[in-house]
Chain A
Amino acid sequence: MSTRNGKLFALSLLLLALFSRLDAQVTSERLLRAAEEPQNWLTYSGSYFSNRYSALRQIDPTNVKNLEQKWVYQGQVMGNWQTTPLVVDGVMYITQRQNDVIALDAKTGRVFWIYRYLPSPDQKVCCGSNNRGVAILGDTLYMGTLDAHLIAIDTKTGRPVWNIEVADIKAAYSITHAPLVIKDKVIVGVGGGEYGIRGFIAAYDAKTGKEAWRFYTIPGPGEPGHETWQACPPGSSASPGSAAYCDPEAWKHGGGSIWMTGSYDSALNLTYWGVGNAGPDWNNDQRPGDNLYTDSVVALDADTGRLKWHFQFTPHDTYDYDSVQVPVLADMNWNGTPVKLMLWGNRNGYFYVLDRETGKFLLGKPFVKVNWSSGLDERGRPIQTPQPPGAPTWPGNQGGTNWYSPTYSPRTGLIYYSAWEDYASIFRKAPMPYTEGRNFGGGGSTVLGPVPNTPGMPVLRRGPINTWTDAVGHGAVLAIDPKTGDRKWKFEMTDVTDSGLLTTASDVLFTGGREGYFHALDARTGALLWKTNLGGQIVAGPMTYQVDGKQYVATVSGMNLVAFALRD
């Protein structure tokens, strides 16, 4: 090729590149209207309202039995992945352990590129090398890492654009959730609730990574809510060796981690995030007070991070009842008036309805057996009934539900949860001084079994043989009517489930579980429509998309991402 021709070629490439970049942008406007392009899946929960609901309807209750596996992407690292893919115009972006990002063809599963990031070997996470996905804006992806970095990655090349440290791994900070992009900012929170972090949510400029605002989930001196970290009472001891140990600086390592992606209401310009447990997990005696904003939802101004309101589900928690659940937003009539609602099935076993404009409590009702509280008062505050030492508490440590993505169907008007039923733990407290970067449990819990020495239900993983049986707890998909808090139906499983849920406009609900089955249920009745055995545990949230006129539904099972569509 001559030099002149080379110049022409180069110029044409440049012009084409500039032109194409204009039409490939995932703008903040597209993110705002993500639900209107159901062929794509542009945010972790499918839309800012976090309904994990799709308007696609090609797969319906009559033909779902004709689903067939179209492709599998098998990861290179063992484990049960928790990622939810994004799909943008036929290209899928997923994460795999530890902190890799992969771009692949959503139609065939063939890989375009892999970005490999090796987090520092000094990173510390309580519960596995988990990552739940990426966010996108323009032609950039955003991933939080196990060593608490936030990395911007080019969508076309898989090359890093910028990489910033969000928090210090020496104090065991980490990031496991998919970031949330709002306007020109990328919002993330930090994990480390089992290590005595002081949690925060922060927003970063999407172009540069420069921090725009930070909201501490544990307010410092002079900030509203700090008074809920009360002074130690007379008679307590500052000595960790004492049974009356009380930590005079409890707020400094008060926990309040963030490990699930928040939601956003653009009309109110509020972003909502669930906040994790107080530290130490179990021994609430050493941190007197309600311990805000642990086990709460916080509503923050998306531009400034300023707190608009909060609602605390479990004050002065002693059960590790993280409130990190994905905030589900829905608009519906409440007592005859249109209200902007937030629906929340909490780890503590109660289902709540809040006014998301004000945080006002509208309804609360247990959706599983509860005995840590005898009920909620008129403001939604639990009337706590701690059980005697050695006695079981319902729900157990992992809660009535946990971080498993729920789904809300505007068609059925029902909200659906993966729940653990008939499951209790025996909690115990122990004084626990804080040491930077060390586990900060302050006690522990054991799963209640029907007879002594019953095999305990594994908290995080299981083998292929179930020896604990449903006698120590079982899983279920629960359909709840948000207007009453009552169950409409239940689909019961033998083993418990960590799977997320997906509903579609054709009234099909997809979910999985620890047993490795991937199910389709009738969202109206809970009837089983189809199932397949994928082998590995499903601990991620299913999603759906469409390419070339064909609807796909995808889920991760173990370390495999599997995509299904109707038989050709």
Chain B
Amino acid sequence: MPDGTIDRAVFEELKVTAGADFVGELVDTFLSEAPNMLSDLRRALDADDAERFRRVAHSLKSNSNTFGASSLAAMARNLELGGFGAARAGNGEPMSALADEYSRVAQALAELRRG
């Protein structure tokens, strides 16, 4: 698992307080919801819907923090606060970086879920 993708202390804490089985289900929920969030974010950007863009980025940030996905959370936060300006910087690099980081997070969470 790539270093720094998931803050293990945060993830372990979550397991302790909510229960390992439950966290497994929660990971499944996130992994099924997050791809929709990413495509939603892309659609909002294409449709010039700033309000929706901000809200989806906000949700993604919130969930990333829950699982200890600190880098993904920071990227989502940057988009939430920076809006289209931040998303379109460097020829849209932040959007593809976000998608790449999500892939790493998804892989790491799937591994953690298997234990």
B is a partner of A? no
Binding site for B on A (CB under 8 A): none
